[in-house]
């Protein structure tokens, strides 16, 4: 007998209420019954995203919604600032380039958050920059960017601010309206605790003006079509009905816990992971502002990260993530996102200790766990 | 107590095996476990689509995959033939136009199938036509097009043939390779019997040449990225894991029944609906080639179609579909698609008789049901 523990930064574990809701007989999407579900989903999303803006639900991975935030607002030749600093920041650049956008990159060392002043300087130079693309939590490095500070800068300009909050929403603080985020992107399989397949977009009036002018082709992800349908509590295309139904279940859980308590729980769990990592003599990849959604851990040179992940998963049933792209094999990433609590952290750290020891790293059993316990439980 | 009967042309009922598979704990998509599932899904799709071509799975509604069959193969200014004749044929036109494609429409009365000779003539005139877009089953009218004949014509030209088989696959005969279909599009919530949220694309070498040359922007739906990942039994973006798992369950059902027997069952069920309709003194909207996936029924002038649908669903629990666009209120549509058997047809016809009578149409109870029974059961 082996139990499975999923502690990867997406998909994250799905609560039983949501899993079981997907086993109910399927219903048709053009019915009063589904309209009520859609309405509840949108209201719940607005609560979690902390916004009064229009919110649309797309049936796609988060990347589809990221593309929508380029194709709906820009035209070929338009200038856009793109904050790099990780695999997902770089994805913005790739998407924008595929639409013929002139990308002005803000390079940023993997493991560091972006300096808002660098954005300010670029915007000052380029009065014709139409959009700034950045990431809330860079899942590949476990770093959180200061969106509040960036929002203050961008809101004073003609440019709009687009934030990939896929990995952060529901795990770290994110105030769409309060911070002046013009387009916020979220995904289903992270802090929102349902399986992958839905993506969410919120949009301000300032961004709508760009939508009116944009000349890039887009159909399936068209905000205009989404808006026309959303105004009638509908979707332009057949949505992933079962995932929307599951979403209503997880949004109920967040509402019951309250978003403030949800974020507090994440802060506590991630803090415990960080304490354990340092307790074990390891280093965090995030130099300055580590994310509460996922913690990236630098592994000792003697440890093969891919082997570590594989052993934890296949031998012990504990799934954490490895490094991506240039970090492959060099780091491991433990998510504390969504349907997770204190003892999930204890399990992950305990398993990490065991496998590190198996692989020859000097570990005194319980060192990391003790540090985590101290951070989690104030007895 | 009321039982619900879903007989709409998508979503269609999901078998319990598939529903329950979605209630299993979620798994990560970059694992050997999911690779095996993805492999099985692709193999099953190839069996149902009757193809040896590459087959890709996209997390989206069918419309997203339709858009992919424009953005991946054409460039602005390219010429394409589009067969209209229904809401979904017209969708091809809208998508193509949004990409700046020069659309040469083949108009076709709603309720009639396209004349392949019309396609031949247009292709003869326009040697620079790069693609022909058409529909297998036009869900809005219940008409099936003769893709085999169209394939014979298009395959002799430089153009590629793209078929929206979303509503037909698994319900009516469709031989991707045998008929020379260069890009076939399918969806999850029709004959494949799982909830909406996945779309499928198969592609020939002839179409790949166009992909190499195409200059329209596309990222999320990029065939090049899909191919690169598919070659490693992977997907470029996080897929809708639970839907892929459910798909494997329904593909097992189709394999066990065999695709030939599956299509035979659909033929029998749709034949029974048509017999019942005529028995009740009503007319089919499809003038020549009615589809076995969905039957569109012309309603007497005295009957408000929207009211009929509403009563059948809300009072009796039997969900069928109404008319779309210019057919709104004038027709009703009964699907015989996917997880349905003989007695579903009996229920639908019986309920139709009851509500027609309630609404003042002269019906002798059992007239339609008897005709359906005679078509279904040879005793």
Q: What is the mean pLDDT of residues B279-298?
A: 96
For A21, name the nearest residue in chain B, comparing CA atoms only. Answer: B23
Q: Is B267 exposed, middle or buried (0-12, 13-18, 19+ CB in 10 A)?
A: middle
The region, left, alpha or beta by phi > 0 then psi within -120 to 50, assigned to residue A197 is: left
Shared-domain flag, residues B229 and B265: no
pLDDT in tens, B97-128: 999 999 999 999 999 999 999 999 999 999 99
By Cβ distance, the residue of B8, B28, B67 closest to A28 is B8
Q: What pTM, to 2 d.p., does this model score?
A: 0.97
Across the interface, which of A20, A196, A319 has its CB nearest the CB of B239? A196
B chain contacts of residue A197, beta-carbon cutoff 8 Å: 59, 197, 239-243
First to last CA, chain B: 33
Q: Which of B12, B189, B241 sits opposite A11 (nearest CB)?
A: B241
Task: Work out the minimum CA distance from A57 to partner chain B, whole angstroms.
Answer: 12
Q: Which of A25, A62, A197 sits opposite B243 (nearest CB)?
A: A197
Subunit contact B220:A319, Cβ cutoff 8 A: no
Beta-carbon separation of B19 and A14 below 8 A? no
Confidence band of B6 (pLDDT split at 50, 70, 90): very high
Strand A143-144 with A137-138, pairing: antiparallel
B217: nearest CB among A11, A100, A240: A100
Domain end call among B231, B256, B281: B256
Mean pLDDT score, B238-262 = 98
Give yes or no: residues A312 and A297 share one domain.
yes
Residues in B touching A219 (Cβ below 8 Å): 63, 67, 94-95, 98-99
A2 contact partners, CB below 8 Å, separation of at least 6: A316, A317
CA distance B200 to chain A (A): 13
| Burial class of residue A297 in the structure, from the number of CB atoms within 10 Å of its CB (0-12 exposed, 13-18 middle, 19+ buried) | buried
Cβ distance of B19 and A22 shorter than 8 Å: yes
pLDDT by residue (tens digit) across A311-325? Answer: 999 999 999 999 999
Q: pLDDT at position B2, please?
A: 87
pLDDT of residue A1: 86
Whether residues A310 and A224 share a domain: the answer is no
* Residue B32 pLDDT > 90: yes
Phi, psi (rounded to 5 degrees) for A36:
-65, -40
Averaged pLDDT for residues B309-336: 97
- On whether the CB atoms of residues A253 and A170 are closer than 8 A, the answer is no
User: What is the crossing angle of helices B32-49 and B241-257, to 10°?
Assistant: 50
**Residue A280, helix vs strand vs coil:** coil
Same domain assignment for residues B143 and B232: yes
Phi, psi (degrees; rounded to nearest 5) at B143: -110, 140
Tokens standing for residue A150: 């960036």
Q: Are residues A188 and A211 in the same domain?
A: yes
Test mutation, B26, B305, B310, chain A, max A CBs within 10 A: B26
Q: Identify the pLDDT of residue A287.
A: 85
CB-facing half-sphere around the CA of A370: CA atoms within 13 A: 7
What would the mean pLDDT of A203-207 be, rounded to a whole number?
Answer: 98
Alpha helices, H only, chain A = 16-21, 32-49, 62-71, 87-98, 116-125, 147-154, 205-213, 223-230, 241-257, 259-279, 305-314, 342-358, 367-376
Q: pLDDT of B165-188, one tens digit each? A: 999 999 999 999 999 999 999 999
End residue of a domain, out of B256, B280, B297: B256
Sign of CA dihedral A101, A162, A10, B55: negative
How close B237 comes to chain A (CA, Å)?
7
> CA geometry: angle at A12 spanning A293 and A147, to 5°?
30
Structure tokens at A136: 């809330």
Same domain, A108 and A248: yes
Best mutation target among B238, B246, B247 (most A Cβ atoms within 10 Å) is B238
Same domain, A200 and A269: no
User: How deeply is B360 buried, as exposed, middle or buried, from its count of CB atoms within 10 A (0-12, 13-18, 19+)?
Assistant: exposed
Residue B66 belongs to what domain range? 16-256
**In contact, A353 and A369? CB cutoff 8 Å:** yes
Residues near B108 by beta carbon (within 8 Å), at least 6 away in sequence:
B83, B84, B85, B89, B114, B115, B118
Beta bridge pairs of residue A283: A298
Do A246 and A267 share a structural domain? no
* pLDDT, position B211: 98
CB contact under 8 A, B197 and A196: no
pLDDT recorded at residue B378: 81
In a mutagenesis test of the A interface, which of B35, B37, B60 is the best target, namely the one with the most A β-carbons within 10 Å?
B60
Which of A239, A256, A273 is where one domain is finished? Answer: A256
Interchain proximity A25–B31, CB inside 8 Å: no
Q: What confidence score (pLDDT) does residue A27 get?
A: 97
pLDDT in tens, A79-105: 999 999 999 999 999 999 999 999 999
pLDDT at B272: 98
Indicate left, alpha or beta for A180 from its phi (over 0: left) and psi (-120 to 50: alpha): left
**Sequence-distant (≥ 6) Cβ neighbours of residue A124 within 8 angstroms:** none
pLDDT tens digit sequence for B348-375: 999 999 999 999 999 999 999 999 999 9
In this complex, which of A26, A59, A71 lies closest to B14 when CB atoms are compared?
A26
Under the banding of pLDDT at 50, 70 and 90, the label for residue A379 is confident
Beta strands per DSSP E along chain B: 5-6, 54-59, 79-83, 102-106, 129-135, 137-138, 143-144, 160-164, 183-187, 198-203, 283-284, 294-298, 318-319, 321-322, 331-335
- Cβ distance A64 to B59 less than 8 Å, yes or no, reads yes
CATH number at residue B222: 3.40.640.10
Q: What was the pLDDT predicted at B271?
A: 98
Q: Is the pLDDT of residue A2 over 90?
A: no
In Å, how far are A105, B33, B45 from B41, measured between CA atoms?
39, 13, 6
**Shared-domain flag, residues A185 and A112:** yes
Taking residues A198-227, report their average pLDDT. 98
- Report pLDDT for A98: 97
Q: Please indicate whether, in this complex, the C-beta atoms of A218 and B98 are within 8 angstroms of each other.
A: yes
Is residue A252 located within the same domain as residue A361?
A: no
**Which residue in A67, A217, A237 is closest to B219 by CB distance?**
A67
CA distance B197 to B187: 8
Question: In B, which residues are within 8 Å of A28 by CB distance?
Answer: 6, 8, 11, 319
What is the least distance, in Å, from the CA of B156 to any CA of chain A? 31
Quote the CA–CA distance of B158 and B161 in Å, as a whole number. 10
Give pLDDT, residue A57.
98
Give pLDDT, residue A360: 97
CB burial of A38-56 (b: ≥16 within 10 Å; e: otherwise) equals bebbbebbbebbbbebbbb
Share of residues in chain B with pLDDT > 70 (%): 100
Question: Which of B35, B74, B79, B42 has its CA nearest to residue B57?
Answer: B42
A-B C-beta contacts closer than 8 Å: 186
DSSP 8-state class, residue A288: S
Do A130 and A216 fall into the same domain? yes
The domain that holds A314 is classified in CATH as 3.90.1150.10
Cβ atoms of A203 and A223 within 8 Å: the answer is yes
Q: Do both A144 and A22 map to the same domain?
A: yes
**Confidence at residue B331, expressed as pLDDT on a 0 to 100 scale:** 97
- Asked whether the beta carbons of residue B11 and residue A28 sit closer than 8 angstroms, the reply is yes
Q: Sort out which chain A residues have CB atoms less than 8 A from B8's CB and list them.
A: 28
Q: Tell me whether residues A6 and B28 touch, CB distance under 8 A.
A: yes
| C-alpha gyration radius of chain B | 21
pLDDT at A187: 98
Mutation to test the B interface, candidates A27, A187, A196, most B Cβ within 10 Å:
A196
Query: Mean of the per-residue pLDDT values for chain B?
Result: 97
Q: What's the number of domains chain A is made of?
A: 2
Query: Do B196 and A59 count as a contact with CB atoms less than 8 A apart?
Result: yes
Mean pLDDT within A19-27: 98
Model confidence pLDDT, tens digit, residues A271-286: 999 999 999 999 999 9
The verdict on a CB contact (< 8 Å) between A240 and B243 is yes
Mutate to test the interface with B, among A220, A318, A339 (most CBs of B within 10 A): A220
| CA pair distance B198, B200, nearest whole angstrom | 7
């Amino acid at each position: 007998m082996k139990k499975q523990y999923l502690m990867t930064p997406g998909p994250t574990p799905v609560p039983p209420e949501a899993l079981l809701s997907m086993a109910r007989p399927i219903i048709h999407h053009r019915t009063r019954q589904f309209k009520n579900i859609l309405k509840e989903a949108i209201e719940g999303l607005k609560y979690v995203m902390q916004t009064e803006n229009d919110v649309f639900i797309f049936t796609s991975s988060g990347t589809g919604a990221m593309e929508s935030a380029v194709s709906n607002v820009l035209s070929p030749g338009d200038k856009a600032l793109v904050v790099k600093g990780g695999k997902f920041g770089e994805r913005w650049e790739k998407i924008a380039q595929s639409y013929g956008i002139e990308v002005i990159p803000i390079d940023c060392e993997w493991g560091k958050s972006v300096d808002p002043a660098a954005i300010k300087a670029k915007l000052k130079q380029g009065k014709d920059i139409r959009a700034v693309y950045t990431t809330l939590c860079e899942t590949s490095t476990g770093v959180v960017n200061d969106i509040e500070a960036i929002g203050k800068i961008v809101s004073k300009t003609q440019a709009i601010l687009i934030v990939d909050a896929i990995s952060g929403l529901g795990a770290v603080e994110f105030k769409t309206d309060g911070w002046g985020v013009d387009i916020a992107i979220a995904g289903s399989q992270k802090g929102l605790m349902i399986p992958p397949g839905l993506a969410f977009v919120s949009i301000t009036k300032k961004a709508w003006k760009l939508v009116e002018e944009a000349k890039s082709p887009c159909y399936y992800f068209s905000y205009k079509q989404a808006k026309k349908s959303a105004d009638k509590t509908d979707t332009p295309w057949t949505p992933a009905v079962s995932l929307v139904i599951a979403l209503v279940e997880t949004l109920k859980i967040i509402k019951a816990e309250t978003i403030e308590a949800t974020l507090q729980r994440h802060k506590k769990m991630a803090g415990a992971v960080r304490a354990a990592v340092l307790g074990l003599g390891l280093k965090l990849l995030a130099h300055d502002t580590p994310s509460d959604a996922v913690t990236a851990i630098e592994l000792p040179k003697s440890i093969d990260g891919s082997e570590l992940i594989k052993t934890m998963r296949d031998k012990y049933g504990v799934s954490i993530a490895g490094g991506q792209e240039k970090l492959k094999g060099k780091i491991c990433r433990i998510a504390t996102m969504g349907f997770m609590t204190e003892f999930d952290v204890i399990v992950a750290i305990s398993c990490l200790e065991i496998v590190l020891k198996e692989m020859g790293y000097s570990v005194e059993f319980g060192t990391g766990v003790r540090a985590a316990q101290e951070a989690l439980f104030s007895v």
